[in-house]
Structure 1
Amino acid sequence: MGSRLLRSIGRGYSHSQRRFLYPCSAATHYSLLKFALSSSSSPASWEPKPLFTSPANIRFFTASPGSSKIVVVNSDSEFSNLLSKAQEDKGLAVAYFTAVWCGPCRTIAPLVDNLSTSYPNVTFMKLDIDQENLSNTLRNSGVSSVPTFHFYKNGAKVADLIGADPGHLKEIIGNLSD
């Protein structure tokens, strides 16, 4: 219902005024919907007010800067090099396939950051599926949804996990990192 109401309110707006309606934060949508349902004044006179007054009130789904040991992979060659290095070190490598627009990816990101610092001998790689330079890696890995985790030991894939399952992720990393 809220979307239809917002679209009907936005129809009478010019393109420059409509930018306040699409795309914006959930807080602005909530404020606009609350205004439309409770106010007798016209929407054209209303200025959107964010629900959050300061950045301190907003919770972001990332760890603090500098605390993560995750390597962001930007190309197919980087991925191959990191996988080869992990194979030489005879260690575990975790490929974390994610996307900026993915809600479950943002939800599990703090846990992945924490695991990367808890297991310093494990190589954590973050691959954004929307990166054009990763097309060969994505095609070869067969990733069909995000978040997806691939676990490599001695250069070979030994396990995978599809979805944001914190308990299973901790269990797999704990078992394979020994």
Structure 2
Amino acid sequence: MLSAAALQAGPALCQGLLARLAAGQAASTAAAATACAARGAPAWRTYAAAAAGESRVHEVDNDAEFEREIKQLAASGAVGVVDFTAKWCGPCKAVAPVYEQLSRQYPTARFLKVDIDNEQLQRTVMDHGITGVPTFAFYKGSQRVEAFTGARVDLLKSTLGRLGGGGGGASGGS
């Protein structure tokens, strides 16, 4: 539990917590999100603004596009990660910069984002049995090989490393 003094630190605390989270040094996104929400600080915006590099996360717009993405994974045999998310979800917003960082760290993997509230993606959401967000689904080629629900950065990193997402260089890997 964070102390009252820590909560008084405001946005600086949020930025620091999320930076540690991205570096794999914080235990959970929930702690960072709770601390930042308690101060009313938009931590994900603060951290996302500081994130360098171009986005490699592809936001899927409709069911047909999702199917095309999975077919491309099948053709290439690449690892794919799908982040089922929602704009209103605090933990989703907190883990987003980490997901973004991992997309740059694992250049041969494909990172997708699916907004569960997008009416054009309802078949995809239903087919995947999404009942909570964030949910991360992992593909190897066209086969869904693993999935979990929750802003678990440790599990996200270790699963990518285990599936061989092509990362792990100087920034650390799994």
TM-score, with structure 1 as normaliser: 0.65
> Given the alignment of the two structures, is residue 62 of structure 1 paired with residue 48 of structure 2, yes or no?
yes
Of residues 60-69 and 92-101 in structure 1, the stretch that sits farther from structure 2 once superposed is: 60-69
Of 36, 55, 58, which aligns to 1:71? 58
Distance 2:75 2:112 in 1: 16
The letter of the residue matching 2:151 is A
The letter of the residue matching 1:136 is R
Report if aligned partners of 1:71, 1:124 keep a CA contact under 8 Å in 2.
yes
Q: Aligned to 2:68, what secondary structure does the other structure show?
A: helix
> Given the alignment of the two structures, is residue 139 of structure 1 paired with residue 121 of structure 2, yes or no?
no
Matched ranges for 1:163-174 at <5 A: 163-174=150-161
Structure 1 residue runs of 4 or more that deviate by more than 6 Å after TM superposition: none
Q: Deviations over 1:62-112 (max 9, x none)?
A: 354752200000100110101110111111111100000000001100110
Cα separation, partners in 2 of 1:58 and 1:129, compared to 1, 3 Å: closer
Q: Deviations over 1:40-71 (max 9, x none)?
A: xxxxxxxxxxxxxxxxx964153547522000
Report if aligned partners of 1:73, 1:126 keep a CA contact under 8 Å in 2.
yes
Cα separation, partners in 2 of 1:122 and 1:58, compared to 1, 3 Å: same
* Equivalent residue number for residue 142 of structure 2: 155
Distance 2:85 2:133 in 1: 5
The runs of 5 or more residues in structure 2 that have no matched partner are 1-40, 166-174
Distance 1:147 1:112 in 2: 11
* Equivalent residue number for residue 115 of structure 1: 102
Once the 2 structures are TM-superposed, how far is the Cα of residue 161 of structure 1 from its aligned partner? Answer: 1.4
Report if aligned partners of 1:92, 1:151 keep a CA contact under 8 Å in 2.
yes
The one of the two structures with greater contact order (alpha-carbon pairs below 8 A, sep at least 6) is 2
The letter of the residue matching 2:64 is S
Q: Deviations over 1:104-154 (max 9, x none)?
A: 001100110000000011000000000000011011000000000000112
**RMSD (CA atoms):** 1.7
TM-score, with structure 2 as normaliser: 0.66
Give percent identity, aligned residues only.
Answer: 37
The total of aligned residue pairs comes to 122
* Equivalent residue number for residue 91 of structure 1: 78
Report if aligned partners of 1:62, 1:106 keep a CA contact under 8 Å in 2.
no
The letter of the residue matching 1:142 is G
> Given the alignment of the two structures, is residue 129 of structure 1 paired with residue 116 of structure 2, yes or no?
yes
The runs of 5 or more residues in structure 1 that have no matched partner are 1-56
